Amino acid sequence: MGTKACATYDPSEHVWQLIMPEEGEAGAAETAVSQIESADGGEGQGHRLAVVYDDATDTVKLFLDGRTDARATGTLPNGWHSSGALRIGRGQVGDGWGEYLHGDIDEVQAYAGALKGDAISALGWGTDPCVEC
């Protein structure tokens, strides 16, 4: 069974993390990036997460509420090819699924290609980004 990418919140560090395998085999090296933000404890508006993999630049970025920075950008020099289903709200543990999300997912959007700039900050506000811009 191959390695999967996952985005998680680590309450002990107060960070959202994206962990991306550098290859598809189990035990492959991983690139981890993070964004620091305290959880709202279910009392606020929640957070909007976006993950953008740009094959042209071999980078992966984690956006939190439309923002990113150097801590949230990683390099995947060998590229990354997905296969199989997109799974939301759980992580792969050993040979099975576990680590279920303790929260709610309101909306999921997936796009072919890498969104840029204003298109990312507009996600989650009821408008579709201009993917041809």
- pLDDT tens column, 61-70: 889 888 888 8
What is the model's pLDDT at position 23? 67
Give Cα 23 distance to the centre of its chain: 17
- For 30-44, the pLDDT digits (tens) are 777 877 776 666 677
Q: Residue 2 above 60 pLDDT?
A: no
Domain boundaries in the chain? 6-121
What is the model's pLDDT at position 47? 80
Task: Name the CA radius of gyration of the chain, rounded.
Answer: 15
What's the whole-model pTM score? Answer: 0.75
Q: Residue 96 above 80 pLDDT?
A: no
Share of the chain above pLDDT 70, in %: 73
CB 4, CB 21: distance < 8 Å: yes
In the chain, the DSSP E strands lie at 6-10, 15-21, 30-36, 49-54, 59-64, 73-75, 91-93, 96-98
What is the model's pLDDT at position 1? 38
